[in-house]
Amino acid sequence: MQKSLLALAVLGAFAGAAQAQSSVTIYGIVDTGVVYQSKVSTGTGTTGSKFGLNSGIVQGSRIGFKGVEDLGGGLSAVFQLETGFSNDTGALQGSDASTSSNLFRRKSVVGLAGGFGSVLLGRQTDYADTISAYTSVNDFGGWTGNVGHNLDRLEGTRTNNSISYTTSNLGGFTGNLIYGFGETAGQTSAGQAFGAGLKYDNGPLGLGMNYYQSKANGTSTYSADTSLIPSSSSTASVNTLAANAGKTAFKGFNLVASYQFGPARVYGNWSRVKQDLNTQANLTSISVGSLSTLTNRTLARAKQADVFELGTAYSLSPSLKLLGAVDRTNAQFDGVSGKGKLTQFSLGTDYWLSKRTDLYAFLAYTKATDMVNTGVSDSTGVDGNQGSVAVGIRHKF
């Protein structure tokens, strides 16, 4: 109740400000659809089909406020606050337990902008989110995220306590730097993050690259995904992996390209992710049939992953697009031999009823070999394949 009252109070305050100041804008997206998935893990060692009404299939449902004040001399003060919600339930949406109650978890920044570019302070995404416009994220959104784009940050991962600088457009080039403060007394590097990105726009050609690195804060842990273990089974041991504060935990590099050939946009990209927990090898030992080799082979636990993508968006008319993409991730894991492979084939169509409202329909076939199949929305709990279908509507305001 307190969270609801707080949210209503904040929304009411900003609504009043929007009426009083023309420089403040209220905007948002409501995206919801029906999703079918085959072979979803039941948590009891079996799988079954699942139908659901999902929010944020292409883009996360959200409401935001942004504004600008002219300070004179070409300098402006800017801010942006953005919260996510689940349209199917009306609840505030969080990417994990630590952010599920954050009102403005999607973005919370304030800064200055001018001919030099912009400087923003707060909670924000790094430049991988910007250059994702040259990938399947631009058309399929979160539909291709679980195959690798969630891991390589192209889906838009936030950095708390951060300051970023983005240049103005210089002959088609735009650059970005971001630094996240670890805020740990006596150890500056603990929880620290930094990144650098660059993009180039020239007519039909779009190119982008980004590097991001973060360090452990001493509290981050990886452990066995016990949700994949049948409740009737026993585990020999479940050992948690604790990261050493100040040591590198994540390194990610993205290289993307897109070109518009008449009505068709063709794109390709590659990302490499390394996750070094800097721990003593101490993986979970589980003896539950095939799960004994798969429990630790979830994409989030890969020590190295290479994500590849090829795709196209073809405009049959100004209102109708046909979409297609192939995503592939090759992953390596600590403590287990061989590589895991995750592949998804996606087809779709997107029809705009107006400039703000569109209808979409997506198909996907996701196959995993020697690793857990993450599925489009829900994991299968084992390797193998999964089919998925989504039909939805998105409205922007």
pLDDT tens digits, one per residue of 171-220: 999 999 999 999 988 888 888 999 999 999 999 999 999 999 999 876 55
**Residue 300 has what pLDDT?**
82
Q: What is the mean pLDDT of residues 115-120?
A: 98
Yes or no: say if 393 and 358 are a contact pair by the CB < 8 Å rule. Answer: yes
If one counts every other C-beta atom within 10 angstroms of the C-beta of residue 343, the result is: 17
Distance CA 339, CA 301 (A): 13
Query: Is the pLDDT at 337 greater than 80, yes or no?
Result: no
pLDDT of residue 105: 92
Where helices occur in 139-294 by DSSP H, the ranges are 291-294
Mean pLDDT of 96-108: 73
Of 62, 40, 146, which is closest to residue 107 (Cα–Cα)? 62
CATH number, domain 25-396: 2.40.160.10
Give the C-alpha separation, 217 to 225, whole Å.
21
Q: What are phi and psi of 138, to 5 degrees?
A: -65, -30
How far CA 387 is from CA of 38, 50, 117, 147, 148, in Å, comes to: 5, 11, 45, 13, 17
Q: Tell me the pLDDT band of 170, cut-offs 50, 70 and 90.
A: very high
End-to-end Cα, the chain, rounded Å: 27
pLDDT of residue 188: 84
Comparison of pLDDT for 299 and 389, the residue scoring more: 389
Confidence check: pLDDT of 72 > 70: yes
Q: How far is CA 287 from the centre of its chain?
A: 33
CA-to-CA separations, 132 to 136, 153, 386, in angstroms, rounded: 8, 9, 25
Domain edges within the chain: 25-396
pLDDT over 80 at 30, yes or no: yes
Give the CA distances from residue 114 to residues 68, 165, 179, 347, in Å, rounded to whole numbers and listed in that order.
11, 12, 20, 41
Average pLDDT, the chain: 85
pLDDT for the residue 37: 96
Global pTM reads 0.84
Q: What is the pLDDT of residues 296-313, one digit of tens each?
A: 688 888 899 999 999 999
Q: Which of 21-30, 162-171, 213-222, 336-345 has the lowest mean pLDDT?
A: 213-222
pLDDT at residue 267, rounded to an integer: 98
| Torsional sign, CA 29, 33, 39, 40 | positive
Find, among 388, 339, 396, 336, the residue nearest to 362 by Cα. 388
Give the span between the Cα atoms of 349 and 315, in whole angstroms.
10
The DSSP code sequence of 100-140 is: TT-TT-SEEEEEEEETTEEEEEEEEE-THHHHGGGSGGGTT
70 pairs with which residues across the strands?
Answer: 76
**pLDDT class for 132, splitting at 50, 70, 90?**
very high
- For residue 187, what pLDDT is reported? 85
Q: Over the stretch 256-292, which tens digit does the pLDDT of each residue have?
A: 999 999 999 999 999 999 998 644 333 333 333 444 4
Beta-bridge mates of residue 194:
179, 213
R_g over Cα of the chain: 22
User: Are the CB atoms for 246 and 190 separated by under 8 Å?
Assistant: yes
Residues sharing a CB contact under 8 Å with residue 51, sequence separation 6 or more, in sequence order: 34, 35, 36
How far, in Å, CA of 324 to CA of 319, rounded? 17
Task: Please give the pLDDT value at position 216.
Answer: 83
* pLDDT tier, 246 (very low <50, low <70, confident <90, very high otherwise): confident
What is the spatial distance between Cα 140 and Cα 155, in angstroms, rounded to a whole number? 11
Choose the most confident range, by mean pLDDT, from 183-187, 320-324, 338-342, 370-374: 320-324
